[in-house]
Amino acid sequence: MPSRPPRSTSPAASVLAEDSLAYALATTADLIADVVAGGNLTEALAALWSARPATPPGVRGAILDLTYGTLRDYGRQDFILARLLQKPLPEPVQSLLRVALYRLDSRADTAHTIVDQAVTAAATLLAGRFKGVVNGVLRNALRQSAELKRAADADMVAEFRHPPWWIRRLRNQYPDTWRAILAAGNTHPPMALRVNRRRAEVREVLSAFAAADLPVRELSNGALLLDRPVPVARVPGFAEGRVSVQDAGAQYAAGYLDLADGQRVLDACAAPGGKTSHILERAQVDLLALDADAVRARRVSENLDRLGLSAEVRAADCRDLSRWWDGRPFQRILADVPCSASGVVRRNPDIKWLRRSDDVARFAAQQAEILDALWQVLAPGGKMLYVTCSVFAEENRDQIAAFTARHPDSCLVPIAGQPDCQYLPCAEHDGFFYALLEKAA
């Protein structure tokens, strides 16, 4: 793929009005092109805001909405473009068309404005050579919209907006619910909060939200679910460490770990620190938080500081015991391991572009290494909670079955009356897997 100007010096940044749709379309096209080339969306966004720190919140919001929406629609735009183009256009023009098609699908009532602004954006890309092509493609898409929709709805990838291997895997593993799982992966994620019980009572937090006219309800596990997401700056009590943003499904972890005051606890893959903080909010424990990435480990410390909590935080690969373990066993271990993130794809829609089928086996091998290493530092009679944000069996039930076969001194402790717990993504929470392992005394 040909190199493109840095975002800080791109034509869109200097020519287009910052509050225009054309600016948002061109900037989003640049981000999508990064992902198509194999880049990570989180890193691309960080680079963008670093290059353009004065971007107004409203403009940021428009760019984020277009970026996440376009990536959640993965597969559909390319199916339509393949019918309207003889061959793909150079980037970022091809991605500009992806973004414009997403916008046309979600805001059909403003079709004329969208086409006009997309053409204006195209004039700033690749010396404007494809301005006429963009205009023609989008007008053809409007004229043929009914026919294109019928064809897209009949195509597996265009309908479900996931890669073929992903669809087949879910269809095989979840014959009754695979469509619902895929549909959930294409939706806007819910926004849930966790109350820091060391600084606030739930009733106080609920009163603050009522006063701010932010409808919220308490779920069975104590999570607070907002009726609609809002910027963190609008969350009452966030800056004071009274609440944290954490998916409701992730908030089961601290409860399932069976904590008690005085325990020595290890959070082995801790960043960014949500579950670490929740453990410390629930019990007075001696906690060591590890993360292999030093930058991400600093985020754990920052989160603890905001919440008024304390733990030892170290940057280390938990598999390399010689680098961090002092020989003292842990009574509880949280193993929130790296995974495909297939249960949180609506929050990270670039994953659908970047993951490959064989990545699942690679993650599974890494998870097995982590489990085997951590088992060595768990005290006899201790418990280890295995967690992923995946819905794939290879990383979840298959992984735990293989582990218990390798370790006869391990047994599964039932969770809510079941051997394990697989949460599937829905309107209230993301997809998570939990299994609690106990070591023979």
Q: Which residues are catalytic?
A: 389
Q: Max Cα separation, the chain?
A: 73
Other beta carbons within 10 angstroms of residue 176's beta carbon come to 6
The secondary structure of residue 419, as a DSSP letter, is S
> In whole angstroms, what is the distance from residue 216 CA to residue 225 CA?
5
Taking the CA atoms of 216, 218, 221 and 227 in sequence, report the sign of the dihedral they define: negative
Rg (CA), the chain: 24
Say whether 217 sits in a helix, a strand or coil: strand
The secondary structure of residue 110, as a DSSP letter, is G
The secondary structure of residue 272, as a DSSP letter, is T
CA angle 120, 123, 124 (to 5 degrees): 105
Residue pair 214/193 in contact by the 8 Å Cβ criterion:
no
Residue pair 336/268 in contact by the 8 Å Cβ criterion:
yes
Upper half-sphere CA count for residue 136 (Cβ side, 13 Å): 6
Other beta carbons within 10 angstroms of residue 81's beta carbon come to 17
Structure tokens that stand for 29 in this block: 């096209």
